[in-house]
Amino acid sequence: MSNPWIAIGALAVVAVAIPVTMMAVSSLLRPSVPEQGKRTTYESGEVPTGSSRQIKFNIQYYMVALLFVVFDIETVFIFPWTVIYSDAVAAVGMTKALLPMVVFIGILAVGLGWAWRNGAVQWVRSPRATKGADTYE
């Protein structure tokens, strides 16, 4: 059995080579006439104001992104358990194999429930966006 990572590395080379070849072929074929008006970014026909990196707005899911880190690490811990699970059941019985994972997922589920109750897992509506809606109600 040879090292499988040689083959994976080979595919990595091919996977980069294919797009790079396409870019090279395209650069031989395509014209280049960079005019001023052509190069503005598309903003539904309006003249763009400022850079897109200077605008400030609420990235509304930052709480969710924090939660993601927790759950992503959780999956890392779950994977080894899933691999040995059926052997573990045969060796030490179902209770000993399953109960620790139930507790582990239980703690996470409580955490998710807490985040849920505190409104972390929803799209946060900014006060400015909903202010107008409130006055109509």
Partner 1 sequence: MQSAPLPETLANLLELDPNSTVVMIVLSLAGAGLIGTLMMTNTALAGPWAKRKITAAFTDRIAVDRIGPYGLFIIVADAVRLLSKELIVPEGVDRPAWDLAPLIIASTALLGFAVIPMGNGIHLADPEVGLAYVFAVASTTSIGLVMAGYASNNKYSFLGGLRAVAQNLAYEIPLILTGASVVIFAGSLQMSEIVAAQQQSLIGPLPSWYAFVNPFAFVLFMIANLAEVGRNPFDIPEAPTEIVAGYQTEYSSVYFVLIYLGEFIHIFLGGAIIATIFLGGPAGPVLPGIVWFLIKIWGVFLFTQWARSAVPRVRIDQLIEIGWKGMLVLSLANLLLTAVIVGVTV
Does position 119 interact with partner 1 (CB under 8 A)? The reply is no
Q: Does 117 bind partner 1 (CB under 8 A)?
A: no
Shortest spacing between CB 137 and partner 1, in angstroms: 18
Q: Does 56 bind partner 1 (CB under 8 A)?
A: no
Sequence-separated (6 or more) residues with CB below 8 Å from residue 40: 47, 48
Q: How far apart are CA 55 and CA 112, in angstroms?
A: 32
Q: Which residues contact 77 (CB under 8 A, 6 or more apart)?
A: 104
Interface residue with partner 1 among 92, 102, 107, 129 (CB under 8 A) is: 102
Q: Token pair for residue 131? A: 């202010």
- Nearest approach, Cβ of residue 81 and partner 1 (Å): 9
CB of 116 to partner 1, least distance (A): 7
Of 92, 110, 118, 122, the one binding partner 1 (CB under 8 A) is: 122
Local structure of residue 36 (DSSP, 8 states): T
Q: How far is the CB of 114 from partner 1 (least distance, A)?
A: 13
Q: Please report where in the chains the tokens 């797009």 appear, as a residue.
A: 19
Instruction: Give the C-alpha separation, 54 to 37, whole Å.
Output: 22
From 45, 47, 86, 131, residue interacting with partner 1 (rule: CB under 8 A): 86
- Residue 89 binds partner 1, judged by CB under 8 A: yes
For residue 119, give the DSSP letter: T
